[in-house]
Amino acid sequence: MINDNDEDEGLFPLRVQRVRSNGKREYDERSKERLVKRCLQGRQSTASLALKAGVNANQLRKWVVQYRQSLTPGDAERARFVPVVTHRESAAPPVMARRPVTESTLCAKLPGDITLELHGASHDPELVRALVGALLGRS
């Protein structure tokens, strides 16, 4: 497993190429791209990565949006891929106290204006755990 500190080496703080007369900084493009890709991994918040990199969080979010817009359609689809985890019924379902079954909807908004809705029984916590785990990138 890769340690976050190993990945951080050489990334933080972000390397400044030059400072303009108005005070604005121009950053090394390769370093910016590595930082943006790190944001897209989703292991750390954009704000915490911006703080480590020494840039404004809003600026980093803007770079992330620009990066996503620069992707080709095939790249964009791969960047939005979320693994699907299926919920398998066990051979002998556990005996549970009878309660009225009510329908519920779980809604998740994903990057790229994607909305994922899950309709099902409100008393199925394993299905909800599987969905949340898939959204977080866990199996």
CATH number assigned to the domain comprising residue 10: 1.10.10
| pLDDT tens-digit readout, 16-69 | 899 999 999 999 999 999 999 999 888 899 999 999 999 999 999 999 999 988
Residues 14, 73: one domain? Answer: yes
Per-residue pLDDT at 12 exceeds 80: yes
Residue 84: inside a domain, yes or no? no
Residues 65, 30: one domain? Answer: yes
Residues 75, 116: one domain? Answer: no
Domain boundary (36, 60, 79) is at 79
Per-residue pLDDT at 13 exceeds 60: yes
Domain that residue 105 falls in: 90-139
Residues 73, 116: one domain? Answer: no
Phi, psi of 72 (to 5 degrees): -70, 160
Alpha-helical regions (H) of the chain: 4-8, 29-41, 46-53, 57-70, 73-79, 125-135
| pLDDT tens-digit readout, 77-89 | 555 555 556 655 5
Looking at residue 18, its pLDDT comes to 93
Residues 94, 73: one domain? Answer: no
| pLDDT tens-digit readout, 99-131 | 555 666 667 777 767 776 766 665 566 767 776
Phi, psi of 116 (to 5 degrees): -115, 125
Residue 95: inside a domain, yes or no? yes
pLDDT band at 2 (very low <50, low <70, confident <90, very high): very low
The mean pLDDT of 10-14, rounded to a whole number, is 81
Instruction: Report the SS3 class of residue 69.
Output: helix
Residues 73, 129: one domain? Answer: no
Total domain count for the chain?
A: 2
Looking at residue 71, its pLDDT comes to 82
Per-residue pLDDT at 70 exceeds 70: yes
Q: Do 120 and 104 touch, CB atoms closer than 8 A?
A: yes
Residue 85: inside a domain, yes or no? no
